[in-house]
Amino acid sequence: MSSSTRLVAVAGLLASFVVLGPAGAVAAPAGQLTHAVPFALAPALVDPADHQGGLTALLAFYALHDALVKPMPGGATTPSLAESWTASRDGLTYEFVLRKGVRFHNGDPLTAEDVKFSFERYRGVSSKLLREKVTAVEIADAHRVRFRLAEPWPDFMTYFGTPATAAAWVVPKAYIDRVGEEGFRKAPVGAGPYRFVSLTPGVELIVEAHEAYWRKVPAVKRLVFRSVTDDSTRLAMLKRGEADIAYNLRGPLGEEVQRTAGLTLTRTLLPTVFWVDFGQGQWDPRSPWHDIRVRRALALAIDRQAINQAETLGLSRVTFSVVPPTFEMAWPAPPVPYDPAQAKALLAQAGYPNGLDGGDYFCDAVFASVGEAVVNYLGAIGVRARLRPLERAAFQKQWQERKLKPLIQGQVAAFGGAIARIERLMLPGGAFAAGSYPEIERLFQQQAKEPDRATREALVHRIQQLAYDRVMFVPIFQQAQLNGVGARVDQPAGIGIEHIPFALPYEDLRTR
């Protein structure tokens, strides 16, 4: 390799989170833990190729599959199937060294061929962007794979090395070649700590320990994930011992967990921001949402802290940007006060002294209570809106297809820092973007080619400031998910990965 493409190490340490057991035999997995989840379990959740960038699929990915790098308790981009990676000085080549001895659940060895196959098979969120940027995936040998870029792209690891996409999650080529796509959906095989047992769509997913998992032998033999969309039912199951972990217990249900002996309430601050989205109305001169005074009135009308207290016991983070402040390159957006009087004055200035018909307000049915609170606050300033909850899959699909209008309760949990959040919400072609401004487009293209980190960050900050100044969104809060954990779980305070609401890593779970 020439000096112009000489590789410079950017990650070369073995995964720091590898846990070595004491000398002697490792205890065989035993027991079962049942997780009550608030959404329908669908076949798409077991296949990384279909990842849409949210949190839901990570519930299954972390059990069945593994990635070259992924978030772990030790860091956001922790070496996993790749024990190290390097980048060339010219920014055009990334090379990954694979961990040796890793086998899929069916016994097939994991090789560079599987990595290349998985990347090329990936069809989920940002797949088009990755195909445009990556010109070739080359197999150097069985345990080394190179990604060649069309031009330097500082955001490569932002998209490839985090759950912003699932292009780095590896599935077995030989198995899929043999059983086909449909066969893989019905009986997925991965390289994760648990192997697939069964999936009853909308009801239950069952997995069992993969004792040959490279990181460690899971302590719990069987994990059962049950779809229980009713919040009160999840809590009742937890109290009766029918579930060991009940996810997303908000408001009074969280308080009841705190009062119940033997149960523990845990909190994870998610990357999920809730906001009022104006959809295509913001870009339509005939719509009231086209007027920045009307949009600003809505921003002043909502008591964010009151919603936070009612929904998550005040444990969420009130925010004024769709980019969480904990994200890389996040701009610190100034607070917007709760000021209904000023909101009414702005509506009057815009020609609506008696308010206006706000039409339908669509939201994920799981968070209809947030939507109800927002609709009530809008009604208090004269914006009359009708709450329209939809089942999560239908809501996400119709939102992406631009079928929901005029108002939408946006909620996106995409990883990848400010870059990925901007790309999906503020740029033409973004998964949830109804429109954009030419200046934002220009700045985004400029930052994508800027090699200097400080200059890039200034450009990314400017984009977020423009979105704030023009009231592209009305943020509400960055959600904290509250989970109830039963007495059989050995370490409720010690499990968890930053920004991911599930009891991870699964191989670290233990029962009492």
pLDDT at 491: 67
CATH, residue 466? 3.10.105.10
Least confident of 175-179, 315-319, 326-330, 492-496: 492-496
pTM for the model stands at 0.87
pLDDT digit string (tens) for 12-68?
333 333 333 333 457 899 999 999 999 889 898 999 999 988 899 999 999 999 999
Tell me, yes or no, whether 67 lies in a domain: yes
CA–CA separation, 81 and 403 (whole Å): 40
List pLDDT tens digits, range 461-472.
999 999 999 999
Q: Which residue do the tokens 């949210």 mark?
A: 54
> Going by DSSP bridges, is the β-strand pair 32-37/222-227 parallel, antiparallel, or unpaired?
parallel
Residues 415 and 434 in one domain: yes
Q: Which domain holds residue 220?
A: 3-17+27-224+486-508
494 and 414: one domain? no
According to the model, what pLDDT value does residue 148 have? 98
- Whether residue 160 is predicted with pLDDT greater than 90 in this model: the reply is yes
56-113 pLDDT, tens digit each? 999 999 999 999 999 999 788 999 999 999 999 999 999 999 999 999 999 999 999 9
Q: Give me the phi and psi of 360, to 5 degrees please.
A: -80, 145
Question: How do residues 386-409 score in pLDDT, each as one tens digit?
Answer: 999 998 889 988 999 999 999 999
| Geometric angle at alpha carbon 437, from 160 and 370, rounded to 5° | 70
Domain co-membership, 331 together with 429 = yes
Question: Is residue 252 in some structural domain?
Answer: no
**Is the same domain home to 295 and 444?**
yes
- What is the count of structural domains for the chain? 2
Both 307 and 426 in a single domain? yes
pLDDT tens string 290-334:
999 999 999 999 999 999 999 999 999 999 999 999 899 999 999
Do 380 and 474 belong to one domain? Answer: yes
Q: Is residue 213 part of a domain?
A: yes
Residues 295 and 162 placed together within one structural domain of the fold: no
Please tell me the predicted confidence (pLDDT) of residue 27. 83
Q: What is the mean pLDDT of the chain?
A: 92
Number of alpha carbons in the 13 Å side-chain half-sphere of residue 507: 30
CATH number, domain containing residue 208: 3.40.190.10
Residue 293 placed within a domain: yes
- Looking at the structure, do residues 476 and 491 belong to the same domain, yes or no? no
- Which residues have CB under 8 Å from 180's CB, separation 6+? none
Quick one: 455 and 501 in the same domain?
no
Q: What is the pLDDT of residue 495?
A: 65
pLDDT at residue 9, rounded to an integer: 41
Q: What tokens does 463 get?
A: 């984009």
- DSSP classification of residue 511: B
